[in-house]
Amino acid sequence: MSYSVVWFKRDLRLSDHAALTQALGQGPVLCLYHVEPSLWRSADAATQHYHFLLESLRDLYLEIKRRGGVLHVVAGEAVDVFDKLYALKPFHSLYSHQETGNALSYTRDRAVASWCRLHAIPWRQSQQFGVTRGLKDRDLWKDLWDQYVGQPCLPAPAVIPWVDLPWREPALPKAAALGLDVAEPSQRQRGGRTLALEVLNSFLNDRSQQYRGGISSPLSAPTACSRLSAYLTFGCLSLREIVQATSLQLKALSPAQAWHKKGLTAFISRLYWHCHFIQKLESEPEIEFQNMHRGYDGLRENDWNPAHFEALKAGQTGWPMVDACVEMLRETGWLNFRMRAMLVSTAAYPLWLDWRPVGHWLARQFLDYEPGIHWSQLQMQSGTTGINIPRIYNPIKQAQDHDPNGVFVRRWLPAMRRVPDTWLLEPWKMPHSLQTQHNVYVGTDLSVPIIELEASTRAAKEKLYALRAQTEVRSAKRAVVQKHGSRKRMTTVKQKPVSAPASQQQTLDF
């Protein structure tokens, strides 16, 4: 009996699963997931990702079982597993979703494509997000995204006629056997579609009322934000089903619920950004390693300061807001957008650290690590895209704006609980008499800032702006905008061609 293979990747669900639906149209299927050791050895992989994956696979296994099928999870490199399977039990086609991953998964996909060609096996890849493979023209992108999310979601199949694996697979490797560090955040989100649906429902029906106004502070953000990112990254939910469920909820709300509606509209725009950023890596995989604007090559690469990096990773920069974020990340695997941006901006400007090692460290810290969003954001917050106005977040001002009473820093940095309110923003300046009075000492209980914030930020800005001002750097910006820039403001500009000089027209939000 011939059959097709459905290769589950970062699409761990049955609903709106185009690859599975198409394969079932051809007859019985072998549902397969590979745990690929070479991918788990990568600098961006972490135990929390592996455990979230296993939880999601367990959920998927049960969903498939309920429909009379079986999910086979096999440890091994994709080509090796396909080769063995084909030799023992030849299959006629391979189905999966497209994946915009890191360089390793891209190389793996090319190897699988060659293997398929060699064996004359068609490999049909369905679109996973509103990301277009082989996009020719960025101007068309927004319409393509609208078309993609507007198509009806595919229902989960009622029955899955299945094919067995022709060998007995041993137990899956533990995280340590894959070379992963044992530590993981104790309070991270758990994987699987069942939980993903609960999180989606609680957000749409209730928590999204706080979305507007609640997403910037690290105090309100953990409940005001959707918290769907990891479920999107692992594909427990499809992007399209989230967009469509949100649109339905928007329609159900009354005009009196205008604030709630605004929150949901803002949320949909984030889902658009999700794909907008992943498209950048899809169109130019090199941005995982190289500056998006090559004119910024050499900006920080040769000034690497290991002491700064170690202090950042240890949460000992001395700036309470930064150190508290590092602690929260270590314990939960999640931070809201603004705090992520502040962490990277602190790394990139006052600490003057190159985005690549910082990005690998953060990729392991973020449970929702999504290469396309991550590397684009790392570059954007470090000022190497060349097309964004550099945003430099001052950690003291962020504390003032988003944690004025010190609730957040005291939650994550126990020593800060003994610091009186007056000294919350700059505790290292506390007079010695007060340190004794409150039994909290600068240098032992509290870190002293490793660098003077104002002067180091000014020096960083000067270096960046000197480069930005160079004629070659300015003129090379146009090509980056053409390839990656959002067309939102460009559209407005096209309608009013005389409103601003060309250089300003290309200053885009993201």
Binding site for ligand FAD (CB under 6 A): 215, 225-229, 232-233, 267, 270-271, 273-274, 277, 336-337, 340-341, 344, 366, 368-370, 373-374, 377-378, 381
Shortest Å distance, C-beta 354 to ligand FAD: 14
Shortest Å distance, C-beta 52 to ligand FAD: 13
Shortest Å distance, C-beta 129 to ligand FAD: 9
The answer to whether 94 and 5 are in contact (CB under 8 A) is yes
3-state secondary structure of 50: helix
31: buried, middle or exposed (CB in 10 Å: 19+, 13-18, 0-12)? buried
Shortest Å distance, C-beta 387 to ligand FAD: 15
Strands 93-97 and 123-126: parallel
The answer to whether 360 and 42 are in contact (CB under 8 A) is no
By C-beta, is 96 or 332 nearer to ligand FAD? Answer: 332
Shortest Å distance, C-beta 378 to ligand FAD: 5
Shortest Å distance, C-beta 361 to ligand FAD: 11
3-state secondary structure of 3: coil
By C-beta, is 373 or 442 nearer to ligand FAD? Answer: 373
By C-beta, is 84 or 270 nearer to ligand FAD? Answer: 270
By C-beta, is 308 or 364 nearer to ligand FAD? Answer: 364
The answer to whether 295 and 473 are in contact (CB under 8 A) is yes
Distance of CA 111 to the CA centre of its chain: 25
Which amino acid makes up residue 226? S
By C-beta, is 16 or 370 nearer to ligand FAD? Answer: 370
By C-beta, is 271 or 450 nearer to ligand FAD? Answer: 271
281-307 b/e with 16+ CB inside 10 Å = b? bbbebebbeebbbebbeebbeeeeeee
The CA distance from 301 to 140, in Å, is 35
By C-beta, is 21 or 486 nearer to ligand FAD? Answer: 486
By C-beta, is 60 or 228 nearer to ligand FAD? Answer: 228
Shortest Å distance, C-beta 80 to ligand FAD: 29
- Which run of H or of E encompasses 108? helix 103-118
Shortest Å distance, C-beta 332 to ligand FAD: 11
Main-chain phi, psi angles of 95, to 5 degrees: -125, 140
What is the DSSP secondary-structure string of 198-262?
HHHHHHHHTGGGGHHHHSSSTTTHHHHS---HHHHHTTSS-HHHHHHHHHHHHHHS-GGGHHHHH
By C-beta, is 397 or 417 nearer to ligand FAD? Answer: 397
3-state secondary structure of 274: helix
Shortest Å distance, C-beta 353 to ligand FAD: 13
The answer to whether 103 and 290 are in contact (CB under 8 A) is no
**Within 13 Å, how many C-alpha atoms sit on residue 497's CB side?**
1
By C-beta, is 72 or 188 nearer to ligand FAD? Answer: 188
Which amino acid makes up residue 470? Q
Shortest Å distance, C-beta 135 to ligand FAD: 17
CB atoms within 10 A of CB 248: 10
